[in-house]
Chains A and B, each alone.
Chain A
Amino acid sequence: GQNIDQPTEMTATEGAIVQINCTYQTSGFNGLFWYQQHAGEAPTFLSYNVLDGLEEKGRFSSFLSRSKGYSYLLLKELQMKDSASYLCAVRDVATNKLIFGTGTLLAVQP
């Protein structure tokens, strides 16, 4: 079976740091993706991990532990425009399709 879990909602303060966790159980694993999705818009690519460790891209970092089936997205120096849904997705090894979690709705407050 395939199961991806992430918190439904989070709230953080402008300028702060927030960590969004994702745990997964899949029959095959070929990389983990994080996408950002603003209301009514398409998902936009943020980061990708296939090996264990931390990947840093500006204010965004993503971590993966394959042995624990765990990833997190770290957002630093939060801005109001970071208010969005953050989707964790695992790539299926056979077809490369993405299997998404339900998304974490992040609200950044002043």
Chain B
Amino acid sequence: DTGVSQDPRHKITKRGQNVTFRCDPISEHNRLYWYRQTLGQGPEFLTYFQNEAQLEKSRLLSDRFSAERPKGSFSTLEIQRTEQGDSAMYLCASTHGRNRGLETQYFGPGTRLLVL
């Protein structure tokens, strides 16, 4: 099964440190989405890519956050100078995008970040 994969699954860091997460979408899926989910809430949209182009960024994505998808395959999400409020589950989802994005988004297992 080659579903969406994310790495690492868990990350504990100290406040002020930088962290980077990776997402590998389903093969040949050209749309990739990042979401953030805190306890007791639904996922909140952060940003999305069509191939290597980043097409939208949420206001939640402060200047400490940056996302890339350099070759239109895997994507990375970096958080600089982490704060305790960044503690959350970071979810990645992908779709094949052949129907103008009108397809189901399939989620990866998520990266759970804890900032101490």
Contacts and interface: CB of A to CB of B under 8 A. Distances in A.
A102 interface: yes
B85 interface: no
A42 B108 contact: yes
B104 A42 contact: no
A77 to B, nearest CB: 24
A91 B97 CA distance: 14
Contacts, number: 57
B65 interface: no
A98 B105 contact: yes
Interface in A48-101: 48, 87, 89, 91, 95-101
B107 A44 contact: yes
A100 B102 CA distance: 17
B55 A95 contact: yes
A99 B100 CA distance: 18
Nearest to A42: B107
B56 A31 contact: no
A103 B41 contact: yes
A96 B99 CA distance: 11
A100 B110 contact: no
Contacts of A98: 33, 35, 43, 45, 93, 105
A15 interface: no
B42 A100 contact: yes
A25 to B, nearest CB: 15
Nearest to B112: A40
Contact of A87 (B42, B45, B56, B109): B42
8 A-B pairs with the lowest CB-CB distances in the bound complex, closest first: A100-B42, A96-B101, A42-B107, A97-B45, A42-B109, A43-B107, A95-B56, A100-B43
